[in-house]
Structure 1
Amino acid sequence: MRMVWAAVFLVSTLLSGLAQEPSPLGLVPQPVPGLSVAIWTEKAQYYVGETARFFVYLSQPAYLYVFDIEPTGHIRLIFPNPYSPNPWKPAGTHVFPDGNYVLRVTPPSGRETLQAVACLTPIPVPLGTESDPFPLLGPDPQSGRARVLGLIPGPSCGCCATAWTFFEILPASVSWPCPPCYMGPCPPCWGIFPGMCWYYDPASGWQVVVGSCPGPGLCWCLGPNGQWQFQIRICVGDCP
């Protein structure tokens, strides 16, 4: 019984604290009787390269959507995603990642925000792909916010609740070696963390990706042991 009351107190405290700050995405939904949501992270600070977890509490079953606001202001949809595409969640506390994927902290450093939106009806959000599972919702912060506001029903709907939390991203606590370069163009030597790859696209140059090469081309990937691995993907025939 003591544990149940502790959980209720925690959720109530989170909700009351969040209500005092303006919504990061500008969402101001009307209160929904019986529906409340809270979100918090496992830690208040993460180093670049770490994997993160967060938790969401729902007072009743609802469709859940979680938006990530980077220190730059850019906005990504991180749930639902291609690895966990169903937004419907029962009442209770849920742990994320909730499927066969990880949430790895990437540069830049600064304050990052997670905002959860719980609705009684589904929202037509754009799911990412396996090569880009957490898509940007706009090329800049302003267009990203506008797109989110265009997706979420207005206050008159009376069908959504929202909550948010913050955490700090710190520079990597260790120095990783620069990727090898045997011939040009050479991959850059910044923003390095285990699990990242420098992918070379002849049209746009070197790009940071996570996991593996997203398409035909060359990749240098840093493994968890701090060793660089060279990857090359070749496409033959009808390629995407």
Structure 2
Amino acid sequence: MANQRIAPFRRTAPWAWKFGIGLALVALSLVLAGAFAQTSWAAEEESSGAKVQPMTIIIQPPPAGPFNVRIWVDRPVYYPGENIQIHFSTSRDAYIYILDLDTQGNQRLLLPNQYETDNFFRAGTYTVPRQNYSFAVEGPAGTEYLQIIAASKPIRVLEDLRMYFSATINIPLFGGQLQATLGGPFPLISDPRDLRTRIEDSLRADKSIQWTTAYTSFQVGTPGVVIPPPPPPNQPPVARADADPTRVEVNQNVSFDASRSYDPDGSIVYYGWDFNNDGRIDATGMRANWRYAQAGTYVVRLQVQDNLGFTSVDTVTVQVVAPTPLTQVMIRSNPSGADVYLDGTYMGRTPVRFSTTRAWHELRVKRFTDEWRTQINLEGLDSIDIEIDFD
């Protein structure tokens, strides 16, 4: 989908073209080869677009939250030559990027572009183009995809594409110049897979960026041929992470459960657990167990994947505290065999040894009808030895 053709060459000195065309073509080939060797991932002239599989550009959004974005078009089917408008909405102020993947697998940046360089939008609903230009549908027939990415800050790798809106190379020719256009209003991406990796790396590198993404598609038809509406796009799975307990002591077991996760239109085939949020998967499976060796607050990340390769992430927080210091308590009685109760809990018959927290406790020792009861303060004590004489 594009709105115009950009001529790859234009002359600025007519007489120079006549006398220097041979030299110009040689020089132009060398310059373009060097330029594209450095920028092949970003943009190239329209006629040399790389062929990729549809939806290569799709990257998975973060977990659903208060930051939402939508993108849509007016009809499910368009025909070559028809103009198309793209609608989108964002729930908060954001920098908006729209990428197009046409029916031949060519990918280009539609927004921002040479005509609309300002891609910061307040929360609301918008339609592009907004300026004096248009988007025209091209052939051949097939499915065309649109993806929108909304971010709280500019995404550097996409901002870098701005330099190709009207990038030209000037070649001196006997006092004149020959200009070669490298980009155009809507830069063509030569390697969408590499761009996807760069976008994901850019988002991971700046943790302060809040972002989300959405996509839509439409059919490009052949005139006179009726195309049935396309099937609805695959919906990503929904991850749900649970932990029990969520507050534990060091080396205490925590059970993790992803059984509440689901996929609206398929099945979940993979569960991956990252227990300390370091980016590495520590366990797989719907359920897992883990013990933490150090105190701290841990954000546990669950990633699920459905049968079509779409993923979703959920997190759960576990608070790990240092072990509570305990006091060793030894209770003896004369004669032995007396029942011992601590705070109403039966601890055994004398002589009996147990551990308890360093605090005030009620101690009760009973032998037949005789009973001894007291309040004991164990604060700051490593151990205590108590002996009761019933004679």
Rounded Cα–Cα distance in structure 1 between residues aligned with 2:107 and 2:197: 12
User: What runs of 5+ residues in structure 1 fail to find an aligned partner?
Assistant: 1-22, 174-240
Greater C-alpha Rg:
2
Rounded Cα–Cα distance in structure 1 between residues aligned with 2:198 and 2:221: 32
Name the amino acid aligned to 1:164. Answer: Y
SS in 2 for 1:35: coil
Tell me the C-alpha RMSD between the 2 structures. Answer: 2.3
Match of 2:63 among 21, 25, 31: 31
Name the amino acid aligned to 1:66. Answer: I
Rounded Cα–Cα distance in structure 1 between residues aligned with 2:193 and 2:71: 20
Q: CA deviation at 1:87?
A: 1.1
- Structure 2 residue aligned with 1:57: 89
SS in 2 for 1:48: coil
Rounded Cα–Cα distance in structure 2 between residues aligned with 1:99 and 1:123: 23
Alignment of 1:108-187 (within 5 A): 108-124=140-156, 125=158, 126-127=161-162, 128-129=164-165, 132-138=184-190, 143-152=191-200, 153-154=202-203, 157=207, 159-172=210-223
Provide the TM-score with structure 1 as the length reference. 0.56
Do 1:115 and 1:165's aligned partners in 2 also have CA atoms closer than 8 Å? yes
Structure in which a larger fraction of residues adopt strand: 2
> Structure 1, residues 156-181: CA drift from partner, whole Å, max 9, x if none?
836110000010011345xxxxxxxx
- Of all paired residues, the percent bearing the same amino acid is 30
Q: How many pairs does the alignment contain?
A: 148
> Structure 1, residues 126-184: CA drift from partner, whole Å, max 9, x if none?
0243672111111xxxx2232133135335836110000010011345xxxxxxxxxxx
Structure with bigger RCO (C-alpha 8 Å, 6+ apart): 1
Segment of structure 1 superposing worse, 37-46 or 121-130: 121-130
Name the amino acid aligned to 1:154. Answer: L
Name the amino acid aligned to 2:196. Answer: V
- Structure 2 residue aligned with 1:216: none
Do 2:149 and 2:214's aligned partners in 1 also have CA atoms closer than 8 Å? yes
- Structure 2 residue aligned with 1:180: none
Provide the TM-score with structure 2 as the length reference. 0.35
Do 1:113 and 1:166's aligned partners in 2 also have CA atoms closer than 8 Å? yes
Match of 1:92 among 115, 118, 124: 124
Rounded Cα–Cα distance in structure 1 between residues aligned with 2:61 and 2:214: 11
Q: CA deviation at 1:89?
A: 0.5
